[in-house]
Amino acid sequence: MTERTVFQRVSQKHILRVGPQANVREAAGIMTRAGCGSVLVMEAPDTLIGIVTERDLMTRVLAKGMDPDHTTVREIMTPNPLCVPPETPVADAVVIMLERGFRHLPIVSRGNKILGVFSVRDALPREIGNAMSQTEFNEQVNDALG
């Protein structure tokens, strides 16, 4: 059975976006209404400059007591997020997320068109298991190599 790609597994193909000057409350509202855990920060015309996630809202805003009405997404976003092409296998994407400690990967075409955002929630249990095995193997190799 052929492994699915990140683009095939994306549950929501619509793309949530805000401009860099949007405030944090606006971004949180957009994410909440869409039931999505991230929003892309875009500059005109269609340039990806960052991503804001639920975790960013918690650790960079709430935990620090920042005012969501007076804090822009530019101030708290993860700039220049790692992106993957649509043909990336799901297990490879999950390995990237496990090794780098994040849960969302923008999917970008060769022409730099944003196609969606792959979330760890989009992965199947089998693919998560394969990725975990690969991650454990990578850690063992790194330990052996010193």
67, pLDDT greater than 60: yes
Taking only the tens place, the pLDDT of each residue in 13-62 is: 679 999 999 999 999 999 999 999 999 999 988 899 999 999 999 999 99
pLDDT, position 142? 73
How far apart are the C-alpha atoms of 11 and 92, rounded to whole Å?
18
**6-145 architecture in CATH?**
Roll (3.10)
| CA distances (Å), origin 46, targets 56, 115, 116 | 22, 12, 13
What ranges do the domains of the chain cover? 6-145
Environment class of 91 (CB within 10 Å of its CB; exposed 0-12, middle 13-18, buried 19+): buried
pLDDT, residue 56, reads 96
Asked whether the beta carbons of 52 and 100 are under 8 A apart, the reply is: no
Q: What pLDDT sits at residue 45?
A: 84
**Count of C-beta atoms within a 10 Å radius of residue 140:** 10
pLDDT of residue 13: 67
Q: What is the pLDDT at residue 10? A: 85
Dump pLDDT digits (tens) for 124-136: 666 666 666 777 7
Work out the mean pLDDT of the chain and round it to a whole number: 89
pLDDT at position 139: 76
